[in-house]
């Protein structure tokens, strides 16, 4: 049967392991990927916040004259695009596997063509959980 001192290693080895963990951070490539991600998140967060608040306010205000409805649909589509961009950024810079979920929006023909199709053809976009998750994930990136 081994004693605890034999399985732990010497105090010098544990001190060396701790010092590598603490002082080795500047020498890891992942450190600079994390810093680049954080440096990008502040200006991107400001841009996301400004864009989404403006588009949502315009869409809600103009929905009275029916111009705002396609604008609100476009805002939802933009939110899903932002989530995909954020997933790629996290996957690239943070080395984290972020799988994007399908949101049920088919924009191959454009937003206006999508807005022109009937709701029975395309399904309920505004009621899709993944669409609202994308919107909340994009809005949670705001610096405010």
Whether 121 is covered by a domain: the verdict is yes
Q: What is the pLDDT of residues 3-62, one digit of tens each?
A: 554 556 666 677 777 777 777 777 777 888 889 999 999 999 999 999 999 999 999 999
This prediction has a pTM of 0.56
Whether 111 is covered by a domain: the verdict is yes
Whether 58 is covered by a domain: the verdict is yes
Count of domains forming the chain:
1
DSSP string, 53-103: HHHHHHHHHHGGGTSHHHHHHHHHHHHHHHHHHHHHHHHHHS----PPPP-
The CA distance from 134 to 98, in Å, is 13
pLDDT given for residue 107 in this prediction: 62
Whether 11 is covered by a domain: the verdict is no
Higher model confidence: residue 39 or residue 106? 39
Look up the domain containing 89 and give its range: 30-139
Q: What is the pLDDT of residues 59-98, one digit of tens each?
A: 999 999 988 999 999 998 899 889 888 888 888 888 777 7
Q: Do 82 and 75 contact (CB within 8 A), yes or no?
A: no
135 falls in which pLDDT band (50, 70, 90)? low
Neighbours of 7 (CB within 10 A): 7
Q: Which residues contact 100 (CB under 8 A, 6 or more apart)?
A: 83, 84, 87
């Amino acid at each position: 049967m081994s004693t605890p001192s034999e399985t732990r290693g010497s105090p010098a080895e544990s001190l060396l392991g701790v010092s590598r963990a603490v002082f080795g951070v500047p020498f890891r490539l992942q450190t600079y990927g994390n810093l680049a991600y954080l440096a990008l998140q502040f200006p991107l967060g400001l841009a996301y916040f400004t864009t989404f608040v403006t588009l949502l306010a315009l869409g809600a205000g103009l929905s009275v004259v029916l111009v705002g409805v396609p604008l609100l649909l476009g805002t939802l589509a933009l939110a899903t695009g932002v989530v995909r961009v954020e997933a790629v950024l996290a996957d690239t810079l943070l080395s984290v596997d972020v799988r994007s979920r399908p949101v049920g929006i088919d924009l191959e023909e454009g937003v206006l063509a999508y807005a022109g199709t009937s709701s029975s053809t395309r399904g309920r976009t505004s009621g899709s959980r993944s669409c609202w998750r994308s919107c909340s994930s994009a809005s949670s990136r705001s610096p405010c």
